[in-house]
């Protein structure tokens, strides 16, 4: 049983001014056996702190953590299992390899600590090196290897103890984009082979979506939404999640007589049905993705806009169009050429409604970012 359960987990850190910061705020979460689960969120939202509490490097302020059927942290009972007895593999963002040890000894390190006999140790290290394509490099020192190879050493070292759960904290952030993609794939392959449970921490939304079976989005210590990548992308429950998961336009809207008007546009309403959850709100935002807006010259049922700017991109043409006093981005196929300065018509394919975000929230989020 390799599932992970967090019950009402809170972590507060003291701050220099004598106060405290709630790094993780009463989170509840179950990660199933064999699942690849991503934690996504901006810097300072509490991802690393959560991972460190699961690993046992950080005590809890409140709550419980269970790995499989075993409680590993229960604050109320002061019950705490040390990291080395939690059966975890871990890889962190910085290449935590020892420069004075060659590849073999770096990978063998956790087994030497355990006093494993030589035959078993050689066998385990050889296996781990093979699975991370490092065989043949046993005697090389890390400084003679590339960033990707160094991160593989860290991966091999976490594999060598045959963990049932892998905790990966931004393991690919220091690699170049091409390498990141191939390493993502390798991690998934390893998971298939060994069937361990993975928590993968990242601030990169496409990485989270590509790698995970399920994922959560955190903000200021809270879990905002947790679901499959598809549901999160298509049905974000808040403006914050919408904006975090892909390119987005947020059009300010005023509601008059049940109709939606772009702020600054007195006459013409947008064909958009205000959802029930908006209640009696008189303003809000209409969220849309640039590739989910149809744009054409013809006057159909679309909303008239002015093409302000046209930018050729490799995968589309990007138009900046003026709607009332606001500007939004539209991605159209290369065949759809419109002139700058001309009038066009747009249709929102899958627009969503959200209330405005409070200014205090935005300010608090910036304050939490750790440099």
Give contact residues for ligand ADP (rule: CB under 6 A).
13, 21, 23, 41, 43-49, 368, 370
Q: How far is CA 296 from CA 268, 317, 345, in A?
A: 18, 13, 5
205 contact choice in Mg ion, ligand ADP, none (CB below 5 to 8 Å, kind-dependent): none
Cα dihedral sign, 357-361-365-366: positive
* Beta carbon of residue 84, minimum distance to ligand ADP (angstroms, whole number): 21
49 contact choice in ligand ADP, Mg ion, none (CB below 5 to 8 Å, kind-dependent): ligand ADP
* Beta carbon of residue 17, minimum distance to Mg ion (angstroms, whole number): 23
* Beta carbon of residue 45, minimum distance to Mg ion (angstroms, whole number): 9
DSSP 234-246: H--SSHHHHHHSS
User: By C-alpha distance, which of 117, 91, 93 is closest to 106?
Assistant: 91
* Beta carbon of residue 18, minimum distance to ligand ADP (angstroms, whole number): 13
Q: 47 vs 180, which CB is nearer to ligand ADP? A: 47
- Give 204's contacts (C-beta < 8 A, 6+ positions apart): 40, 173
45 contact choice in ligand ADP, Mg ion, none (CB below 5 to 8 Å, kind-dependent): ligand ADP
Q: 48 vs 132, which CB is nearer to ligand ADP? A: 48
Specify whether the CB–CB gap between 320 and 328 falls below 8 A: yes
Question: Degrees (nearest 5) of the Cα angle 87, 32, 148?
Answer: 60
* Beta carbon of residue 47, minimum distance to Mg ion (angstroms, whole number): 5
User: By C-alpha distance, which of 213, 112, 94, 110 is closest to 159?
Assistant: 110
Q: 48 vs 205, which CB is nearer to Mg ion? A: 48
Site string for Mg ion, 42-81 (x = CB under 5 A): ------x---------------------------------
* Beta carbon of residue 370, minimum distance to ligand ADP (angstroms, whole number): 4
Specify whether the CB–CB gap between 148 and 186 falls below 8 A: no
Q: 59 vs 144, which CB is nearer to ligand ADP? A: 59
Q: 41 vs 351, which CB is nearer to ligand ADP? A: 41
- Give the three-class secondary structure for 81: coil
Strand boundaries in 147-270, DSSP class E: 165-169, 197-202, 214-219, 222-227, 249-256, 259-262
- Tallying the residues shown for the chain, one arrives at 371
Q: 222 vs 326, which CB is nearer to ligand ADP? A: 222
Task: Centre a 10 Å sphere on the Cβ of residue 263 and count the other Cβ atoms it contains.
Answer: 14
* Beta carbon of residue 226, minimum distance to ligand ADP (angstroms, whole number): 15
* Beta carbon of residue 151, minimum distance to Mg ion (angstroms, whole number): 16
98 contact choice in Mg ion, ligand ADP, none (CB below 5 to 8 Å, kind-dependent): none
Enter the tokens of residue 242: 């919408």
Give the C-alpha separation, 12 to 21, whole Å.
5
Give the C-alpha separation, 7 to 27, whole Å.
7
Judged by CB under 5 A, which stretch of 41-49, 191-199, 215-223, 313-321 contacts Mg ion? 41-49
Burial class of 125 by CB neighbour count within 10 A (0 to 12, 13 to 18, 19+): buried
**Total chain residues near Mg ion (CB under 5 A):** 1
Q: 331 vs 365, which CB is nearer to ligand ADP? A: 365
Interface with Mg ion, residue 249, by CB under 5 A: no
In the complex, the residues that contact Mg ion under the rule CB under 5 A are 48
């Amino acid at each position: 049983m390799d599932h992970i359960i967090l019950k009402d987990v809170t972590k507060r850190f003291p701050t220099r001014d004598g106060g405290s910061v709630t790094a993780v705020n009463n989170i509840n979460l179950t990660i199933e056996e064999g699942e690849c689960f991503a934690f996504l969120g901006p810097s300072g939202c509490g991802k690393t702190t959560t991972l460190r509490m699961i690993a046992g490097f950080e005590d809890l302020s409140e709550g419980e953590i269970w790995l499989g059927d075993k409680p590993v942290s229960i604050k109320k009972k002061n019950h705490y299992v040390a990291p080395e007895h939690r059966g975890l593999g871990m890889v962190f963002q910085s290449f935590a390899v020892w420069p004075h040890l060659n590849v073999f000894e770096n990978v063998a390190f956790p087994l030497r600590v355990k006093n494993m006999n030589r035959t078993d140790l050689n066998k385990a290290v050889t296996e781990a090196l093979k699975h991370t394509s490092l065989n043949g490099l046993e005697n090389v020192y890390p400084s003679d290897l590339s960033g990707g190879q160094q991160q593989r050493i860290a991966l091999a070292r976490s594999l060598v103890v045959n963990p049932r759960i892998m905790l990966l904290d931004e393991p690919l952030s220091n690699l170049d984009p091409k390498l990141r993609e191939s390493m993502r794939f390798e991690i998934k392959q390893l998971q298939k082979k060994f069937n361990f449970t993975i928590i993968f921490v990242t601030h990169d939304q496409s990485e989270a979506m590509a790698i995970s079976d399920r994922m959560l989005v955190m903000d200021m210590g809270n879990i905002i939404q947790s679901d499959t990548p598809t549901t999160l992308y298509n049905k974000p429950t808040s403006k914050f999640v919408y904006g975090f998961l892909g390119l987005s336009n947020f059009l300010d809207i005023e509601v008059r007589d049940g109709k939606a008007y772009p702020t600054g546009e007195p006459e013409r309403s947008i064909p958009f049905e205000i959802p029930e959850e908006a209640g009696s709100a008189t303003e809000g935002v209409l969220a849309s993705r640039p590739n989910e807006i149809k744009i054409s010259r013809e006057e159909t049922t679309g909303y008239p806009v002015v093409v302000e700017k046209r930018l050729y991109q490799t995968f589309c043409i990007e138009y900046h169009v003026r709607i009332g006093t606001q500007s939004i981005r539209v991605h159209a196929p290369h065949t759809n050429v419109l002139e700058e300065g001309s009038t066009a018509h747009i249709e929102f394919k899958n627009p969503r409604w959200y209330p405005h975000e409070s200014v205090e929230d935005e300010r608090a989020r910036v304050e939490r970012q750790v440099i």
